Structure 1
Amino acid sequence: MNKTATLLGLAGLIPFVGLTAMMYQPWAIGLFMTYSAVILSFLGGIHWGVALRDTDWRNNWRLCLCMLPSLLAWLALALPVEVALTLLLLSYAAWWLYDFMQLAIADYRRLRRCLTLVVLACHGSWLYFYV
């Protein structure tokens, strides 16, 4: 995998981990959920880009499915905190499984596994804090 892509992916964890470390600050949850929603939307965009590039991979169902992370992220921002955190956590887990089934790039799978496990741990920490 491209070194820059790996470093940027790891750097993308900084807001997740940093805001989780500051969870006792009342303003941190809003920033955490907003950032989480943005990144979840980005994950759908990865598949959109692949579908547009690879004509063998492109179909209407797959293009529509690429929109699901953005819609779930947007919905999460309108829900109560506990429900939103649960929806985001489940969305990340489900999209990770979808990624694994659809994109057979070993380096990408390894990076996504690492990133997703940290993101899930952060969401789980927030859920534990709020419940």
Structure 2
Amino acid sequence: MTIRLPHDRVNQIRQLSYRYKRQHTDNMLMNKTAYLLGLSGLIPFVGLTVLMHQSWAVTYFLSYSAVILSFLGGIHWGVALQDDKWSNSWRLCLCMLPSLLGWVALLLPVALAFALLFVAYALWWGYDYSQVKNGDYRQLRRCLSIVVLVCHGSWMFFVIF
């Protein structure tokens, strides 16, 4: 015995299936893009760490680090403006902290700048982990944060010793 569905019902099921496949494909593409961009964002950190014996590398590294730290605060700023449950004065003010810390780091002596940036990245990684439940984002941030912290730690060791 075969069950026959009305033609319009079959079309609805096909459309839902197509939408699901398309959304799933778009999400996979977005995740691949996020990973690719995130990993490529490590190139200046790693490259400048390898070139730390060059006198100009310290300025470039600190500048890039301050910019990326500001970007991390901007991620939460954008979410706070779009999502009512995240939108409050405290969260918006907190989202400004990475930008301010990055700027202050550029005004400090080099050893203190590296220490401040190291602590800021570590704390913001913890904040991200506590606020964002998306497993893909957490995995990406863990990978990126570990590399960034290792680079900063290497620079601190180089500058101090």
Same fold (TM over 0.5): yes
TM-score by length of 1: 0.99
- Structure 2 length-normalised TM: 0.80
Q: Tell me the equivalent position of 2:125.
A: 96
Measured on the aligned residues, the alpha-carbon RMSD in Å equals 0.6
1:21 pairs with 2:30: no
1-structure distance, mates of 2:33, 2:158? 34
3-state SS of the aligned residue for 1:2? helix
Q: Hey, what does 2:59 align to over in structure 1? A: 30
Secondary structure class of the residue paired with 1:77: helix
* Structure with larger RCO (C-alpha < 8 A, sep 6+): 1
Aligned residue type for 1:96: W
Q: Secondary structure of 1:66's partner?
A: helix
* Residue-pair matches, total: 131
Q: Which amino acid aligns with 2:85?
A: D
Identity of aligned pairs, percent?
68
Q: Which of 100, 106, 119 is the aligned partner of 1:71? A: 100
Q: Which of 146, 149, 153 is 1:117 aligned to?
A: 146
- Which consecutive aligned stretches of 4+ in structure 1 deviate over 4 angstroms post-superposition? none
Work out the CA distance in 1 between the residues paired with 2:85 and 2:52: 45
Larger of the two Rg values belongs to structure: 2
Give 5+ residue unaligned stretches, structure 2. Answer: 1-29
Shift of 1:66: 0.1
Distance 1:103 1:49 in 2: 13
Structure-1 residue corresponding to 2:111: 82
Amino acid aligned to 1:42: F
